[in-house]
Structure formats: structure tokens, C-alpha cells
Amino acid sequence: LLKPVLMEIESRSSRKEYAQVLAECHKLYCEQRLSLVKGIVLQRISEFAKKEALPSLTRSGCAYLMQVKLIFVV
């Protein structure tokens, strides 16, 4: 539903007004994605912290955050 609109805005983004709208859309998209995953990410990190030593926690946490990063890339 939004993809065609965003594609049109992107095609016109050489104009300042459209570039600003596109930047605002990207910002809003990232904010909404963050609001969706923030709670579960904090919960998972808390769970890791309760049962793992620091080196293991660091490895597990980094691996988990890499998975979360993929959510934002897609």
C-alpha cells in the first residue's frame, strides 16, 4: 500500500521538498519498527543476563542484536 507512494517520492527526491518528505518517512518507519521490537529485545537481554557469565552474555547478546538488525534491514 505504501510502497508505490514511497517509490514515487524516491523518484522525485532530487527536489528538496521530496527529499525532506522521504527522510521523514524513513525516520518514522525506523521509530515504529523500534517501538515494535524494543520490549522483546530488552526482555531477551535481561534473560541472557540472568543466566550467563559476562563473556557468554556478550557473545549471545551480539549474536541476538545481529538478528535484530536483520529485522530493520528487511
Q: Which domain holds residue 12?
A: 3-73
Q: How confident is the model at residue 24 (pLDDT cuts 50, 70, 90)?
A: very high
Residue 71 has pLDDT above 70, yes or no: no
**Model pLDDT, residue 73:** 61
- Side chain identity at residue 28, one-letter code: L
- Give the C-alpha separation, 3 to 60, whole Å: 35
pLDDT, the chain, mean: 86
Q: Number of structural domains, the chain?
A: 1
This prediction has a pTM of 0.61
Task: List, for residues 28-42, the tens digit of each pLDDT value.
Answer: 998 998 898 889 888
- The DSSP code sequence of the chain is --HHHHHHHHHTTTSHHHHHHHHHHHHHHHHHHHHHHHHHHHHHHHHHHHHS-HHHHHHHHHHHHHHHHHHHH-
**Model pLDDT, residue 72:** 64
φ and ψ at 49, to 5 degrees? -65, -30
